[in-house]
């Protein structure tokens, strides 16, 4: 009898749970319907207001329309973002082609709506995810007066919030805070690599200053990561450091420095790149070949041609791609394609067939 009683109680509990689930499901479904209807309604009205703003015949009527739009937004960030997105995407007016005029118009709307106030409220009252979002939006709006509040968020325990806040400071060009944040995560190799890349990409201040401030205190891994990231910014001041690293014995540093040096394409670096093209590490060889292809000198061409028969597939492929960017004569090309070196011929064929129309 005991087991039967337990089963009945179990069944009743299950029925209660099912009931709760049904109520939750129904409520969520209703909320979704309401949300969809609300968004559709807002969008419809928004379109009318946005068109009013964009097509207003006089400045006075435009001001009236902007006020009406601000009333419609009424402090709701979702509606504000929807309105701005609609203005940016709207085609057919002069604002679509004239970015400057578009930004001016958006600034006029911002004056009425006060988006900084909306996001500042979110920063004060929201959960960690809303706070993180608010930090980034405030930075985009250039709300420097909230810098201290954003700095406080960098020190929180939540990694998401700290990241978003630091990214906001990055957009504000804050060298000290950003470098402190990056130094705080430098030992987490699974995380710091991509963060360095993202932060240097979005940084609005002097990248050289940020890098210098990091080089003073960071570990070797972070230094290599920063050098690799800086490759595309070609900062002249760091060239001597790259030359030193490319001639050194530390493999990781050598890879980073050869890559960074290759990006410059300076003839005076050819000797270092030629040496690197003979390195026993294939990653260094591949980076050097890419750099040599930018020089286009006969000696560089000879090294790239030699790399076509490298024992490592990746180097051969890099050399084949590089050679199509260099001044190679048709005779040389024919020689490679019809030569005894199958590796070289295959590598060049693969690249050529994809870059030259071979139909017919």
Partner 1 sequence: MGFLNGVRSFIVVFNYFCMAFTLLLSVIYIIQLFVSFVRVHRDFSKSFSDDFHSYVDSDNLLPISLIIPAYNEQENIVQNIRSLMKINYPMYEIIVVNDGSTDKTGELVINAFHMHKIETSIRCQIPTQKIEAVYYSKEYPNLLYVQKANGGKSDALNAGINISRYPLFTCLDADSRVEKDALLRLSMEFIKDSRTVVAGGIVRIANGSKIVDGELKGFTMPKKLIERFQIVEYYRSFLMGRVFWSASNSLLIVSGAFGLFRKQTVIDVGGYKRNTIGEDMEIVVRIHRYMRKNHKKYRVKFNELSVCWTQGPMSVNDIRSQRRRWQIGLMDTLITHRGMTLNPRYGFVGLLSVPYNWIFELFGALIEAIGYILIPFTLIMGELNLFFFVIYFLLSVALGVILSQGSLVLEQYTHRAAMTAKQSIAISVYAILENFGYRQLITLFRVEGILKYRKLHKTWGKIKRKEFEQ
Q: Which of residues 33-62 bind partner 1 (CB under 8 A)?
A: 33, 35
Choose between 89 and 357: whose C-beta lies nearer to partner 1.
357
Angle 204-79-63 from CA coordinates, rounded to 5°: 85
Nearest to partner 1 of 19, 117 (CB atom): 19
How many residues are there in the chain? Answer: 360
By CB under 8 A, residue 234 contacts partner 1: no
Number of residues located near partner 1, criterion CB under 8 A: 47
The one among 40, 98, 125, 201 contacting partner 1 by CB under 8 A: 201
CA distance 299 to 308: 15
Phi first, then psi: give them for residue 277, nearest 5 degrees: -65, -15
Least distance to partner 1, CB of residue 130, Å = 7
26 counts as binding partner 1 under rule CB under 8 A: yes
Nearest approach in angstroms of CB 314 to partner 1 is: 9
Report long-range pairs for 206-215 (Cβ below 8 Å, ≥24 apart).
206/173, 206/175, 207/233, 207/235, 208/235, 208/237, 208/238, 209/175, 210/175, 210/178, 210/179, 211/235, 211/238, 213/175, 213/176, 213/179, 214/179, 214/182, 214/183
Query: Which string of x and - marks every residue 210-229 that binds partner 1 (by CB under 8 A)?
Result: -------------------x
Closest to partner 1 by CB, 30 or 268: 30
Please pick, from the candidates 28, 85, 99, 144, the single residue that binds partner 1 as defined by CB under 8 A: 28
Q: Does 176 bind partner 1 (CB under 8 A)?
A: no
The Cα–Cα gap between 89 and 256 comes to 41
What DSSP element (H or E) covers 301? Answer: helix 298-307
Nearest to 302 by CA among 280, 273, 268, 262: 273
Answer whether 148's CB lies under 8 Å from 138's CB.
no
User: Interface with partner 1 includes 30 (CB under 8 A)?
Assistant: yes
Longest CA–CA span in the chain (Å) reads: 97
Helix (H), strand (E) at residue 150: helix 147-154
Nearest partner of 318 among 288, 295, 280, judged by Cα: 288
Based on the shown chain and the rule CB under 8 A, indicate whether residue 103 belongs to the binding site for partner 1: no
Closest to partner 1 by CB, 176 vs 353, is 353
Site mask for partner 1 (CB under 8 A), range 125-164, x = bound: --x-xx-xx--x-----------------------x---x
Binding partner 1 (rule: CB under 8 A), the pick from 86, 184, 197, 208 is 197
Answer for which of 52, 193, 205, 265 binds partner 1 (CB under 8 A) is 193
Pull the structure tokens for residue 69: 């739009």
Choice between 136 and 305, CB closer to partner 1: 136
Q: How far is the CB of 137 from partner 1 (least distance, A)?
A: 10
The phi and psi torsions of 150 (rounded to 5 degrees) equal: -65, -40
Sequence-ordered list of residues with C-beta below 8 angstroms from that of 46, at least 6 positions apart, any chain = 69, 72, 79, 82, 83, 86
Nearer to partner 1, 69 or 134 (CB): 134
Angstrom distance (rounded) from CA 52 to CA 49: 5
Complex with partner 1: residue 47 or 188, whichever CB lies closer: 188
Q: Which of 63, 93, 274, 350 binds partner 1 (CB under 8 A)?
A: 350
Tell me the window of 66-74, 234-242, 303-311, 342-350 that interacts with partner 1 (CB under 8 A): 342-350
* Residues 120, 287: Cα–Cα separation, whole Å: 46
The stretch among 45-53, 188-196, 287-295, 323-331 that binds partner 1 (CB under 8 A) is: 188-196
Q: Residues in the site for partner 1, rule: CB under 8 A?
A: 3-4, 7-8, 10-11, 14-15, 17-18, 21-22, 24-26, 28-30, 32-33, 35, 127, 129-130, 132-133, 136, 160, 164, 190, 193-194, 197-198, 201, 229, 232, 313, 346-347, 349-350, 353-354, 357-359
């Amino acid at each position: 009898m005991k087991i039967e009683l337990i089963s009945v109680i179990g069944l009743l509990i299950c029925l209660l749970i099912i009931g709760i689930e049904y109520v939750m499901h129904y409520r969520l479904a209703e909320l979704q319907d309401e949300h969809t209807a609300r968004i559709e309604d807002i969008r419809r009205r928004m379109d009318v207001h946005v068109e009013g703003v964009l097509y207003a015949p006089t400045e006075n009527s435009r001001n009236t329309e902007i006020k009406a739009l601000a009333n419609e937004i009424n402090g709701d960030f979702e509606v504000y973002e929807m309105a701005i997105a609609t203005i940016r995407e709207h085609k057919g007016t002069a604002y679509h082609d004239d970015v400057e005029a578009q930004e001016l118009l958006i600034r006029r709307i911002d004056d009425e709506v006060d988006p900084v106030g909306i996001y500042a409220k979110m920063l004060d009252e929201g959960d960690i995810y809303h706070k993180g979002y608010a930090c980034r939006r405030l930075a985009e709006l250039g709300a420097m007066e909230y810098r201290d509040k954003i700095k406080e968020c960098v020190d929180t325990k939540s990694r998401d919030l700290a990241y978003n806040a630091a990214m906001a400071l990055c957009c504000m060009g804050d060298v000290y805070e950003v470098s402190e944040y990056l130094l705080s995560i430098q030992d987490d190799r699974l995380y710091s690599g991509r963060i360095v890349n993202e932060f240097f990409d979005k940084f609005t201040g002097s990248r050289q200053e940020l890098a210098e401030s990091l080089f003073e205190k960071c570990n070797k891994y972070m230094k290599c990561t920063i050098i690799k990231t800086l490759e595309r910014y070609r900062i002249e001041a760091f060239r001597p450091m790259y030359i030193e690293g490319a001639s050194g014995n530390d493999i990781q540093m050598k890879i980073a420095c050869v890559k960074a040096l290759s990006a410059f394409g300076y003839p005076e670096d050819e000797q270092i790149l030629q040496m690197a093209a003979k390195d026993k590490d294939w990653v260094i060889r591949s980076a050097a070949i890419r750099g040599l292809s930018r020089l286009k000198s006969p000696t560089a061409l000879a090294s790239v041609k030699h790399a076509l028969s490298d024992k490592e597939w990746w180097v051969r492929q890099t050399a084949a791609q590089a050679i199509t960017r260099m001044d190679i004569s048709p005779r040389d090309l024919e020689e490679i394609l019809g030569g005894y070196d199958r590796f070289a011929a295959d590598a060049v064929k693969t690249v050529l067939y994809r870059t030259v129309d071979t139909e017919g």
